[in-house]
Amino acid sequence: MNNHDNIFALSSGRGKSGVAVIRISGNNLQEFAKEIIGHNTITPRKTYFTNLRDDTGEIIDQCIVIFFAAPHSFTGTDIIEIQCHGAPAVINKIFEFLRGHNMRIATPGEFSRRAFYNGKMDLSDVDGLVALLDAKTDRQRAAALTSMMGGDSEIYTDWRRHMLEISAYAAAMTDYPADDLPPDISNTIISHIKTLYTAISAALNKYSVSHAIQCGINIVIVGETNVGKSSLFNRIVGASRAIVSDIPGTTRDVVSAQMDIDGYMVNLSDTAGLRDTTDKIERIGIKRTTNEIENADIIIHVITPTDSVMTVKKDEILVVNKSDTTDSKRIKNAIYVSAKTGAGIPDLMKTITERINEMSGGGESVLMINARTYDLIKTAADELKNAMSIAGDDYDILSEHVRYAADAIGKILGVISTDEVLDMTFSQLCLGK
Ligand SMILES: Nc1nc2c(ncn2[C@@H]2O[C@H](COP(=O)(O)OP(=O)(O)O)[C@@H](O)[C@H]2O)c(=O)[nH]1
Ligand SMILES: [Mg+2]
């Protein structure tokens, strides 16, 4: 991959659309921009209505062309943006035209990679962009946008700066004889490390929230056979905003649907009834149900009005279905619903929403932690803990540990980066980003 190549990509989605956006990134695109626009001078960021012509002079399409001069562009390079009609034939013809001008199609994430190399985004911002392009619900959008706009980077940068300061300070201690140092210097250093450690641990503790926002909150419907689990599943799916997307790997007897409840993504699963059975296939279903329960954030436990009163477990919502068959509501700690008539479903949805909000701390902003950043934050926390255990003995080693912590955070930002990390981060992006 060469950073000096002129690269192009379709930045808008594939398929028939009113308008498609093709972007070109390169080091010196002004002349080419003038040529296609057909003006001797052009102003950056101005829109030009252009009859885009191929090399024989034939019009390919009527387009809007905008030229962004480096460094004031998404990538920090020159960029030409062509807005053409969103027909595959138009797009293909423009691609062909660009190829003929010594340009090549970008690899996935290559535009963002350039933005990173040119200091337009750090890796944490790129993580945010990846998540934003994936966002299906409003909470996902909000968390990803904060991260992409540098909200998370600010926190990481602040932590790292503190760590580097502490590390340098501790290292400097070794240059002085112990008697010359202020008596409480060790305590001061340790208390600074402790403050950082507390902040980082708090962020780690919220990983489950961040994970739930990004990957969805798992809600599982359980109960004995015939209590109406599947009927209730259909009711709930119908009562919430459907997310049109497939969860990979749901071809199994546990049926799942992805939906949007109060802006949160929810993975709702209907399960096989739990009961003792000798039937081999049913037992596989029950095993899967057990797995599903283990991964559940919230369990909807369904019973019928004739069942005996039971205690409700912490993560459970007890639901009495088939309320249409009785007038009594003798089971006190349960929500009465009828999957058949829809009675009580709004109450159930309200309770589910309350539970989700409790779980997520009411939408207060949290660092958007992913698998890559989780390990690095954990490493930083561990290194700070190591540093604290050395208290007052060996400033050199203490300084080293804090330095390792700073390096871990530096890797999150990409200040310290390996090609492997970069490849992993950018390859998640689609073409044209
Ligand atoms: N009267 C009544 N019947 C229901 C209700 N919900 C489900 N059923 C019936 O109960 C039976 C079992 O329903 P199903 O959803 O397959 O239960 P599952 O085995 O727990 O998934 C079916 O005959 C449903 O029509 C309800 O709210 N009221
Ligand atoms: Mg069923």
Distance of CA 314 to the CA centre of its chain: 28
Task: Give the residue-averaged pLDDT of 60-80.
Answer: 97
Ligand 1 contact, 321 CB (< 6 A): yes
- The alpha carbon of 376 and the centre of ligand 2 are apart by a number of angstroms equal to 43
Instruction: Compute the residue count for the chain.
Output: 433
Ligand 1 contact, 325 CB (< 6 A): yes
- Distance, in Å, from the CA atom of 290 to the CA atom of 272, rounded to the nearest integer, reads 10
Ligand 1 contact, 305 CB (< 6 A): no
The conformational region for residue 139 under phi > 0 = left, psi -120 to 50 = alpha, else beta, is: alpha
Return the H-helix or E-strand segment holding 145.
helix 138-148
Q: What is the pLDDT of residues 385-408, one digit of tens each?
A: 999 988 666 888 999 999 999 999
Q: Which residue ranges make up each domain of the chain?
A: 7-106, 124-206+369-426, 212-363
- The alpha carbon of 334 and the centre of ligand 2 are apart by a number of angstroms equal to 20
Q: From 3.10.450.40, 3.40.190.10, 3.40.50.300, 1.20.1050.140, which CATH number describes the 212-363 domain?
A: 3.40.50.300
Tell me the CA distances in angstroms from 346 to 259, 352, 353, one per residue in order: 16, 10, 10
Minimal CA–CA distance to 406: which of 200, 252, 216, 244?
200
Ligand 1 contact, 167 CB (< 6 A): no
Q: What is the CATH number of domain 7-106?
A: 3.30.1360.120
- The alpha carbon of 338 and the centre of ligand 1 are apart by a number of angstroms equal to 9
Contacts of 334 (CB under 8 A, 6+ apart): 303, 312, 318, 319, 320
Q: What is the pLDDT of residues 91-112, one digit of tens each?
A: 999 999 999 999 999 998 999 9
Judge whether residue 324 has pLDDT over 50.
yes
The protein residue with its alpha carbon nearest to ligand 1, atom 1, reads 322
Residue 417 token pair = 């980066």
Minimal CA–CA distance to 213: which of 246, 254, 262?
262
- The alpha carbon of 231 and the centre of ligand 2 are apart by a number of angstroms equal to 7
Largest CA distance in the chain: 85
Average pLDDT taken over every residue of the chain: 88
- The residue whose CB lies within 8 Å of the most ligand 1 atoms, and thus the one to mutate among 231, 253, 324, is 231
Ligand nearest to the CA of 306: 1
Report the DSSP pairing between strands 17-26 and 78-86.
antiparallel
The protein residue with its alpha carbon nearest to ligand 1, atom 26, reads 322
- Which atom of ligand 1 sits closest to the CA of residue 341? 27
Fold held by 124-206+369-426: Four Helix Bundle (Hemerythrin (Met), subunit A) (1.20.120)
- The residue whose CB lies within 8 Å of the most ligand 1 atoms, and thus the one to mutate among 220, 221, 224, 226, is 226
Q: Which of 67-76, 262-271, 290-299, 387-396 has the lowest mean pLDDT?
A: 387-396
* CA angle (325 as vertex; 320, 326 as ends), nearest 5: 75
Ligand 1 contact, 228 CB (< 6 A): yes
The protein residue with its alpha carbon nearest to ligand 1, atom 14, reads 228
- Taking the model in full, what pTM does it have? 0.77
Query: Tokens 């069942």 correspond to what residue?
Result: 307
Percentage of the chain modeled with pLDDT above 70: 89
- The alpha carbon of 227 and the centre of ligand 1 are apart by a number of angstroms equal to 6
Give 342 or 255, the one with higher predicted confidence: 342
